[in-house]
Amino acid sequence: MSEVNHYVDYRREGGIAFLSMCHAPVNTLSYELRCAIDHYLDVAEQDQEVKALVLRSELSAFSAGADISEFGTEKSFAEPSLPALCDRIDRFPKWVIAEVAGYALGGGLELALAADKRIATRGSKLGLPEVNLGILPGAGGTQRLPRLIAPSLAARMMCDGKPISSEQALDLGLVNALLASSEHSEAAIHQLLKECEAGTPDNMFEQDYSLSREEETALLEYQAQQARRWTGLKSPQAIIEAVQRGMKSSLEDALALERKLFNDCAASPQARALQHAFFAEKDALKVPGINRDDARLAIQEVAIIGSGLMGCGIAINFLLAGIPTRLLDVNSEALEKARAYIQKTIESGRDKGRISAQICEQAMAALSTASDYEDIANADLVIEAVFEDLTVKQSVFKELNRHCKAEAILASNTSTLDLNAIADVCARPENVIGLHFFSPANIMKLLEVVRTERTSEPVLATCLKLAKKINKVAVTVGVCYGFVGNRMVAPYSREAFRMVLEGASPSQVDSALREFGMAMGPIEMADMAGIDVGCMAALANQHEWQGEESYQALQFALREQGRLGQKTSAGVYRYDGGKKQEDPEVLALAKEIAQSQGIEQRNISKEEIIQRCIFSLANEGFRILEEGIALRSGDIDVIYLNGYGFPRWRGGPMQYADETGLQNVLQGLENLQKNLGAYGERWFAAAPLLKELAQANRSAKSFSNV
């Protein structure tokens, strides 16, 4: 007997019922899938012939868990709810075996945890990643996992949010058997059922559990260790509470506690922000008219022009993905140094266990060098990463135009220059695109994919597909000075430096923004990037700030003194013995500049620092959105989350503006405009789009250029 509806395939073979989920692409446990599972549980329960039920998947994933897009909607609560379905499986009067192949995440794993036994194919991934969405496992996961494996390990797994392999799951006792592949499952199922024959199906509701003193100590020690990392985060703390208190209660009470903690977290701004980030990253890959699956150009060989740190970092991405990569530089000594650097970086990844010895070996074998453009004639993709100067880059592109094969994609890693002017020197501007990596390029996840008006669709589609292969988060943007990320950083850092002239100390500015959640403060970031680099960017952007004396005045003065940042052990801060320290000389210098420019120094509050920096950031985001440089506000957020250390739990600058309320952001900007005199008048005018959306009581998210 076999029955199929859109969501599951049900069949009985002898005494075993097979319930296979088939809700593409990843079996999210939507209302419809839950109803289908529940229905076939009825069928299996009523069928006297059925002795055991196997829950499995027709797809390559077992299940990606609850359907996040249902959160906050009626469907999410509609019965059968996911917790109710898990409880039903736990209490099911016949044996239930979960057969996991591929991903079993969140609610997907919770279904499996409620089964009596679990088998998993090698290479499967099992995890409870709800913490990444600002919530906790809410369908019994916080209670059933610690009742199956050591509670302190269960808590770690939930607080880390990282899935474990099926091999690790077997070691922990989370699965009962491992399969070489799903084809071998029948024998394993029969074996498990044979072992079960004597007993009755497990029902966790009827068993006693407790939390040993050792386990409780381990749990609390882990919580203490993570205190700094979890500052301001709600859900990891809630997970610890759920495990600690829940393990001392009956399962019934523990599940009620889990529900309460889940609801608290789910209603928090953090949960909204993290869920926004999840979907924004997926949406960023959706560019109208572009189908990544149609990417026609195969990238079998990559060439990188320029063997500096950026060139090396970019090369490492491709090498680790197994793509043969040639580094071109006219300076052979530089090439040797680059090779040694790449080797050291890749081997250190191996030594830290991040990559296998085999991948390390393959990556080094895929690296080659060249000093002549003729040697890269066969490359499918060339990425230029030379000095940030238009004339230099144009001369490289003239060479590429002359030597590279007709269909090669010609990419520039420029972070600020006019890509159209670069494309102009090529006879095939449709092949020209910007691939803006962020330093260190082998570590930072962000890739700004810059499309000119002439970039062809297949070229863009190919780059988006490639980004996934090299494990980058790609966002497509249009051409303007600094594209999205660096254009927005200009007003953000302008405010940071201006406030130092107005009397805030650099460490006060940095601490306020760190407390807000930024990975680094804007001033320490400027020291790290190089004060000279900041000055160069300011000079290139002169048209924006001409006539505004204070703009970067402190940075120019520091540059004159040779204080170029961390690299010279002194910039805004001093770095004696590598340790960052506030420098009274810089405070005095700031005071001097302020006096010469007629800027009055005063006390500046933490709130003002945050407002001026973050509102300026978002305000520029609204301009970018209005100009169509970014397709959606979520794209801007993805850029800031993955390239600029914006706290993920705040969702990005545009989500922060939405959460604050656009009317409040507008009001804040108008107040600053009024209260900061001529400076305020000049720099705090709200973007027209922000005004329009705020007045219409709309959110940034509701606006789209798609």
Helix ranges, 479-601 (H): 485-501, 506-516, 522-529, 531-540, 542-545, 553-560, 584-596
Q: How far apart are CA 645 and CA 517, in angstroms?
A: 8
The answer to whether 524 and 510 are in contact (CB under 8 A) is yes
The SS3 assignment for 181 reads coil
Shortest distance, position 347 Cβ to ligand 3HC, whole Å: 29
CB of 173 to ligand 3HC, least distance (A): 21
* Interface residue with ligand 3HC, options 8, 17, 21, 26 (CB under 6 A): 26
Residue nearest to ligand 3HC (CB): 106
Regarding 329 and contact with ligand 3HC (CB under 6 A), the answer is: no
Q: Are 511 and 521 in contact (CB under 8 A)?
A: yes
Residues 103-132 that bind ligand 3HC (CB under 6 A): 103, 105-107, 110, 129-130
- Could you tell me the smallest distance in angstroms from the CB atom of residue 637 to ligand 3HC? 16
Q: Does 405 bind ligand 3HC (CB under 6 A)?
A: no
DSSP state of 373: G
Shortest Cβ 225–ligand 3HC spacing (Å): 24
* 25 lines the binding site for ligand 3HC (CB under 6 A): yes
Out of 54, 59, 67, 571, point to the residue binding ligand 3HC (CB under 6 A).
67
Who's near 313: CB < 8 A, 6+ residues apart? Answer: 437, 439, 440, 441, 442, 443
Strand partners, 433: 411
| Closest separation in Å from C-beta 361 to ligand 3HC | 27
* Interacting span for ligand 3HC (CB under 6 A) from 64-72, 362-370, 562-570, 606-614: 64-72
Give, in order, the Cα–Cα distances in Å from 33 to each of 46, 76, 78, 79, 563: 20, 12, 12, 12, 62
User: Could you tell me the smallest distance in angstroms from the CB atom of residue 162 to ligand 3HC?
Assistant: 11
- The residue (of 141 and 349) whose beta carbon lies closer to ligand 3HC is 141
Which spans in 404-456 are helix H? 419-423
Provide the minimum distance between the beta carbon of 147 and ligand 3HC in the complex, in angstroms, as a whole number. Answer: 16
Question: Burial letters for 49-75: b for 16+ Cβ neighbours within 10 Å, e otherwise?
Answer: ebbbbbbbbebebbbbbbbbebeeeee
- Applying CB under 6 A, among 138, 311, 534, 668 the residue interacting with ligand 3HC is 138
Considering the rule CB under 6 A, would residue 134 count as an interface residue with ligand 3HC? Answer: no
Single out the catalytic residue among 70, 130, 399, 608: 130
Measured between alpha carbons, how far is 285 from 323 in angstroms, rounded to an integer? 22
| Identity of the residue, 162 or 674, whose beta carbon is nearer to ligand 3HC in the bound complex | 162
Q: Does 311 bind ligand 3HC (CB under 6 A)?
A: no
User: Residue 139, interface with ligand 3HC (CB under 6 A)?
Assistant: yes
60/378 with CB nearer ligand 3HC: 60
* 130 counts as catalytic: yes
Least Å from the CB of residue 30 to ligand 3HC: 8
C-beta of 125: minimal distance to ligand 3HC in Å? 7
**Of the candidates 41, 54, 55, 64, which one interacts with ligand 3HC according to CB under 6 A?**
64
Q: Are strands 125-127 and 177-179 parallel, antiparallel or unpaired?
A: unpaired
Nearer to ligand 3HC, 82 or 500 (CB): 82
Q: Which CB, 139 or 319, lies closer to ligand 3HC?
A: 139
Residue 49 Cα distances to 14, 94, 98, 222, 236, angstroms: 7, 11, 20, 48, 45
- Asked if residue 66 binds ligand 3HC (CB under 6 A), the reply is yes
CB-wise, 112 or 525, nearer to ligand 3HC? 112
Distance CA 471, CA 400 (A): 26
Between 59 and 404, name the residue whose CB sits nearer to ligand 3HC. 59
Give the chain's radius of gyration (CA, Å).
28
Confirm if 99 and 119 have CB atoms less than 8 A apart. Answer: yes
Helix (H, G, I), strand (E, B) or coil at 411: strand
Q: Which range in 24-32, 525-533, 570-578, 693-701 contacts ligand 3HC by CB under 6 A?
A: 24-32
Which is nearer to ligand 3HC, 26 or 690 (by Cβ)?
26
What b/e sequence results for 511-532 when a residue is b if at least 16 CB atoms lie within 10 Å of its CB, and e otherwise? ebbbebbbeebbbbbbbebbbb
Q: Which is nearer to ligand 3HC, 27 or 505 (CB)?
A: 27
Phi, psi of 201 (to 5 degrees): -55, 140
Full DSSP string of 504-520: --HHHHHHHHHHHT-SS
Per CB under 6 A, which of residues 481..520 are in contact with ligand 3HC?
none
- The verdict on 640 binding ligand 3HC (CB under 6 A) reads no
Question: How many residues are recorded in the chain?
Answer: 706
C-alpha angle 26/27/29, rounded to 5°? 130
Q: Is 401 exposed, middle or buried (0-12, 13-18, 19+ CB in 10 A)?
A: middle
Instruction: Provide the H-helix boundaries in 161-250.
Output: 166-172, 185-196, 213-225, 235-246
Residue with smaller CB distance to ligand 3HC, 69 or 671: 69
Residue 668 interacting with ligand 3HC (CB under 6 A): no
User: Pattern 271-290, binding to ligand 3HC, x per CB under 6 A?
Assistant: -----------x--------
Does the footprint of ligand 3HC cover residue 133 (CB under 6 A)? yes
Q: Rule CB under 6 A: is residue 246 a binding residue for ligand 3HC?
A: no
Alpha helices, DSSP H, located in 7-140: 31-46, 74-77, 82-91, 107-114
Q: Which amino acid is at 94?
A: K
Q: According to the binding rule CB under 6 A, does residue 59 interact with ligand 3HC?
A: no
Q: Name which of residues 28 to 47 contact ligand 3HC (CB under 6 A).
A: 28
> Residue 467 Cβ, how far from ligand 3HC at the closest point, in Å?
13
Residues 73-102 that bind ligand 3HC (CB under 6 A): 82
CB of 252 to ligand 3HC, least distance (A): 18
Describe the chain by its helix, strand, coil percentages, rounded to 5.
55, 15, 35
- For residue 74, indicate whether it is catalytic: no
Q: Report the residue number, 110 or 510, with the smaller CB distance to ligand 3HC.
A: 110
Distance between CA 133 and CA 235 in Å, rounded?
9
CB of 283 to ligand 3HC, least distance (A): 7
Q: How many residues bind ligand 3HC (CB under 6 A)?
A: 24
Name, in order, each residue with C-beta under 8 angstroms of 572's C-beta and a sequence gap of 6 or more: 500, 506, 523, 524, 526, 527, 531, 554, 558, 563, 565, 583, 586
Note the residues at the interface with ligand 3HC (CB under 6 A). 25-26, 28, 61, 64-69, 82, 103, 105-107, 110, 129-130, 133, 137-139, 141, 282
What residues act catalytically? 110, 130
